[in-house]
Structure formats: structure tokens, C-alpha cells
Amino acid sequence: MKLLVLPGDGIGPEITAATLSVLKAADVRFGLGLKLEEAAVGFAGMRAHGHTIHPDIVEKARRADGVVLGPTDTYQYKDPAHGEVNPSMKMRKSLDLFANIRPARTYPGFHLRCGEFDLVIARENTEGFYADRNMEAGSGEVLVTKDVAISMRRITRQCSERIARAAFELAQRRKKRVTIVHKANVLKVTDGMFMEECQTVARDFPDVALDEVIVDAMMAHVVRNPQRFDVIVTTNMYGDILSDLTAELSGSLGMAASLNAGANHAMAQAAHGSAPDIAGQDVANPFSLILSAAMLLAWHGRRVKAQTFEAAAAAIDKAVEAAIAAKDTTRDIGGALGTRTAGDAIARRLQE
């Protein structure tokens, strides 16, 4: 399996290094034949090539079996015309990574804020309120006058249908329940279309239960009773916000794993940002990117029908669970390890 590794900004290089130590340990144990190629994105890419993500990197990603992307400081990228482009957006749009899968679960041995739960958010990844990806050319935001700004939202039947199908297929491997999160009581046309497509897809999965919750009420329901939910399917911005909430309820945003997947490509990416305030201090939790990389291995294993990759992913998940129970973790989830040693602790468990 050939992986393109893009460390990113801020804490990105640190958590990426910890993740690579885990992947190398999994490679030794399971014989995965991993081939790692690294390239600079973010500010490192600007210094090296004058682009936060050089066009050559997208072509390298097309030829790879998967991508590992560290966090990037997209807020600081001000001028796309001069190469300051969001690498995550560029990859998602160029490779058509329409499904952003974000799991959240609790772990034994860690303080439970809302009791035990295990859910997954299937977030549409290529349109919605995100102005940098919902237009063929230009931006979905317009400054009409200095005092008037407009942001456009795009919802299509095609994108709604395929994220719904991804959610139902995922639910079939889990507890067989899908919840649509929407605001169709107000956004009757756009969220109404999204709901219609989800309901249409549901007919192909008669063994999967379906319900729906309005997005603002959903925030209360998840805090009150996260055990109620299995797979949550929703549009881009709702899923982005909701997944940060569920990750924090599970213990820490530092454990927020995610996989960006399309029909032919996938990218592991921690769901959080680059945290420049703690960069270089060896305190960032690497579990988010480690768990994301495990999701990438499992995706590849299902795609090429190679059970060794799914076994390696399961072993990484178990190693993280054991590390949390033993408090071999960073400080945000009750341990005393640094970023590097927390990654080493997972690698060591895989070797054992």
C-alpha cells in the first residue's frame, strides 16, 4: 500500500511523526508492504514551492492508495491567487472525497461525560455552506457592498444521495440505525431535498431503522442521550460542528478521527486544527491522526478485499483502547506522556 504523507502546520508534523511510528509497527506485524512518500503542504509548502499545496501533490495523491494529511493552519491562508489554498479542501474537491466519516466513542478507564456511547457521523464533504467548494469557479461568498455580504449554499440530489448511501452501508455493518440531521423546518428547499434523498435511499435498506432530528435539537439530544444514536447523516456544516461536540463528549477533540472517502480515493485526517499555540511543545494528542490512519487501512482493506489491513486497523484501535485504560496518554485525557511517547506506546503495543 502506497501512502502519501502530508505533515501540515502547527502540531501537524508532531502528530504525523507519531502516526508514522504506529503505521510502521503495524506494517512489521501484519506485513502490509507500506510505502511512504512525504511531501510538504501548508507553510512548509509555501517555503518550498510557493504553494500551500502544489498541483503535483494532487497528482501524487491520485497515484497513491491513500493519503495521510496532518492539520493545516487554514485561517492564516489569506490569498488563494498567490498559492494560499486550503490543502484539505483541495484534496477533497480534486479527489471527490464526498464522505467525511467521523466516529466518536467512549473508552474504558476514562471519565465519561455523558455515559458510554459509540456513534459515527457521515458528513457530506463537497458542497453545503462551504464557500471554498460549492462553486465550479470562484467563491460561494460575495461582498456586495462593504456592508453587505452574501454566502450561498449548494445542495444537490447527487451529493445527497451518495452520502446517504454511504451512511446506510455503514449502518449495516454496525447497529442498523440511521438518523438524518437537518433544518428542513426552515431550509425547506435545500434541507428538504437532502431529506428526500436520504428517505429514498432508505428504501434500499429495509433492515436499517431511520429517524430524523432537527439540528439545533440534535445538540441537546446528543448531550442528553448519545447512546440513542448509531450512524448520523447530515450536510457539511452541521456535520462539522456536531462532530466536534461528539468528539469532546467522548473525551477530547484530540481523539477526533476522520476519514475522507470517495469511490476511488481516501484520506486520513484528524478532525481538529493545527493548534499553533501548542506546536513544538510535545503535548498534542496524536490519537486523532493515529485512529484516522487506522480507518484508512480498514477502507483500503475493504476496497481490495485484503483482511490483513482490516486486522491491522482493529489492532491499532485495540492498542489505543489499552493505552487509554493504562493512562499511557497525553495530558488532555489524563496521562503524562508527550506526543512522541504516546505514539511510541501504541507502536509498542502493536509489536507486543
Catalytic residue among 244, 282, 318, 332: 244
- Grid coordinates representing 159 are 451529493
Catalytic residue among 27, 77, 90, 130: 130
Rounded to 5 degrees, φ, ψ at 151 are -120, 130
Rounded to 5 degrees, φ, ψ at 267 are -140, 125
Is there a contact between 215 and 182 (Cβ–Cβ < 8 Å)? yes
Is there a contact between 181 and 232 (Cβ–Cβ < 8 Å)? yes
Residue 332 designated active-site: no
Catalytic residue among 56, 204, 211, 216: 216
Residue 183 designated active-site: yes
Residue 305 designated active-site: no
Question: In whole angstroms, what separates CA 327 from the centre of its chain?
Answer: 24
The Cα 158–Cα 96 span in angstroms is 12
Catalytic residue among 240, 317, 328, 344: 240
The Cα 208–Cα 103 span in angstroms is 19
SS3 166: helix
The Cα 344–Cα 320 span in angstroms is 11
Catalytic residue among 27, 90, 107, 183: 183
Catalytic residues: 130, 183, 216, 240, 244
